[in-house]
Amino acid sequence: LEVTMDQLHALEQQVSASTIIPLGEYIKFETASSAVNDPTKSLETVEMKETLAKAIDQLSEKERLVISLYYHEELTMKEISLVLHLSEARICQLHTKAVFKLRGFLANEAFDL
């Protein structure tokens, strides 16, 4: 492959970062039990939401709609397929593609820090 060991390790780190970070970590909201007035946590939450919003803006219109309907409106894949007049399999594909894009974007943001 004509790749140095350093380049290989950098590539491995990029690939593993994009597959290890669970999307749920970026969507979690503070629970009432942890609602201690901690400015650091509050700032981190605001930054996390802003980063997630930037990531969602990178998605196509259909992918954004599927993510919004699934996570915000809490519709099932079947319900989303009825709303968008697409097959349930296509909704699953769009959701999976969107989640991978979001993970990749968020992993790159974390890697840049």
pTM more than 0.95:
no
CATH number reported for the structural domain that contains residue 26 in this entry? 1.20.140.160
pLDDT single digits (tens) 52-95: 889 999 999 999 999 999 988 999 999 999 999 999 999 999 99
Cα–Cα distance, 48 to 105 (Å, whole number): 12
Evaluate if residue 111 carries a pLDDT over 50: yes
pLDDT at 26: 53
- Compute the radius of gyration of the chain from its Cα atoms: 17
pLDDT single digits (tens) 27-59: 554 444 454 567 777 787 788 888 888 999 999
Task: Please name which of 28, 60, 67 lies closest in space to residue 44, comparing C-alpha atoms.
Answer: 28
The total of structural domains in the chain comes to 1
- Find the domain containing 18 and state its range: 5-112
Residue with tokens 């259909």: 62
- Cβ neighbors of 90 (< 8 A, separation 6 or more) are 81
pLDDT at 19: 46
Query: What is the full DSSP assignment across 87-99?
Result: -HHHHHHHHHHHH
65, 95 in Cβ contact below 8 A?
no
Higher pLDDT pick, 14 / 54? 54
